[in-house]
Amino acid sequence: MSSAFFKNNGPYTILEILNCLNIKIENEVSNRKINDIKDLFSSNENDITFFHSKKYKDIANKTKASFCITTDALRNDLPETCTPLIVDNVLFSTSKLTAKFYPDSINDDFDNSVTDIFKTEFADNVKYGKNVLIGKNISIGSNCLIGHNTIIEKNVSIGDNCSIGSNTIIRNSIIKNNVRILDNCVLGKHGFGFFPLKKGNLRYPHIGIVLIEDNCEIGCGSTIDRGSMSNTVIGKNTYLDNQIHIAHNVKIGDNSIIAGQVGIAGSSVIGNNVKIGGQAGISGHLKIGNNVEIAGGSGVIKDIPDNAKVMGYPAKNIRKFLKDNK
């Protein structure tokens, strides 16, 4: 992906990139310019990509990128047009290089570019409360409401007929039409992603956004983190209750209903028409099918196929769970 909101400080020359990655290659010192860092599928000729797991070998084999951060064990799965840059830890090096391209995507210090809304172009079009602050690169559609003390930090697009509550903070997010975001939420901050290092953890960049589709509702006190290399997405007409946490890169489908205090860990993908009971938790990197029902309090630690009803920790077929726990 290219980042919707974060400024790309590139292009960089291959020489600069090799320096960033602490790689010394005798024959490959060049002034060739690289525009961006992207995934294997999205990369073009003037991009650099990364390849860290055998399970992506089919995509790796077709990448158009001219350079790829990878390991010695994986280099042979790349096409001849792609020069491998061999490192010890692909994700760590990718993170370092992404940070070089997108330095603003690492930390979420408060946005000091904000202005009181009554001094902005939105003063006449938006119905707003007291002490509302608006950052740079904001668009707001017609017939929108923004409650008291709410901060729309930089890089936010809000559609028509949206109602934002009070004491809420939004940044780096696209919110479509007829969306209701209630009080005390935080949307669009970076995810909980970093490399643990005893001298001080190294945060990895979050160049993705939060995308909330039409007709959604987000309950009070909820947090939705933006994506790292992809986006965090809430599908059309999906409703979230209070105190829900949606981690980075999670994708939730349409018409889903998620009750209070649910947590969904990073990069999990939830289908359409899914119902999740209160306090249920879903581990990271899982795939939950369409029409799935997850009982309240369940802990889901593996993929769930379409139409399944599950309960328990670890979550299993609801009938089996209830029978086993009579």
Q: Which stretch binds a second copy (CB under 8 A): 14-22, 44-52, 75-83, 251-259?
A: 251-259
Range in contact with a second copy (rule: CB under 8 A) among 27-35, 57-65, 205-213, 297-305: 297-305
Q: Which is nearer to a second copy, 37 or 117 (CB)?
A: 117
Size of the site for a second copy (CB under 8 A): 76
User: CB of 186: closest distance to a second copy in angstroms?
Assistant: 4
Active site residue 248: yes
Q: Which is nearer to a second copy, 87 or 262 (CB)?
A: 262
Using alpha carbons, select from 197, 201, 35, 183 the residue that is nearest to residue 107.
201
Collapsing DSSP to helix, strand or coil, 198 comes out as: coil
Q: How far is the CB of 151 from a second copy (least distance, A)?
A: 6
- Residues in contact with 55: Cβ distance below 8 Å, sequence separation at least 6, in sequence order: none
Chosen residue from 35, 180, 269, 290 binding a second copy by CB under 8 A = 180
Per CB under 8 A, which of residues 90..109 are in contact with a second copy?
A: 107-109
Candidates 120, 223, 228, 268; binder of a second copy (CB under 8 A) is 223
Q: Does 281 bind a second copy (CB under 8 A)?
A: yes
Length of the chain: 326
Task: Determine the interface stretch with a second copy among 61-69, 75-83, 117-125, 273-281 (rule: CB under 8 A).
Answer: 273-281
CA distance 15 to 68: 14
DSSP β-bridge partners for residue 276? 258, 294
- Tell which positions 23-42 bind a second copy, by CB under 8 A: none
Site for a second copy in 61-90 (CB under 8 A): none
Q: Does 260 bind a second copy (CB under 8 A)?
A: yes
Is residue 309 within the footprint of a second copy (CB under 8 A)? no
* Neighbouring residues of 79: CB distance < 8 A, sequence distance ≥ 6: 61, 62, 63
42-51, Cβ contacts within 8 angstroms, sequence gap of 24 or more: 42/1, 42/2, 46/11, 48/17, 48/85, 48/97, 49/82, 50/90, 50/91, 50/93, 50/94, 51/77, 51/78, 51/90
Residue with tokens 């780096």: 172
Task: Rule CB under 8 A: choose which of 220, 276, 286, 310 binds a second copy.
Answer: 220
130 touching a second copy, by CB under 8 A? yes
Among 7, 44, 89, 116, binds a second copy (CB under 8 A): 116
Is 167 one of the binding residues for a second copy (CB under 8 A)? yes
User: 11 or 141, CB closer to a second copy?
Assistant: 141
**Which of 52, 245, 248, 285 is the catalytic position?**
248
Closest C-alpha among 156, 155, 159, 230 to residue 191: 230
Place of tokens 């349409």: 254
Q: Where are the alpha helices (DSSP H) in the chain?
A: 14-20, 57-60, 90-101, 318-324
Separation of alpha carbons 118 and 122, rounded Å:
7
149 makes contact with a second copy (CB under 8 A): yes
Residues with catalytic function: 248
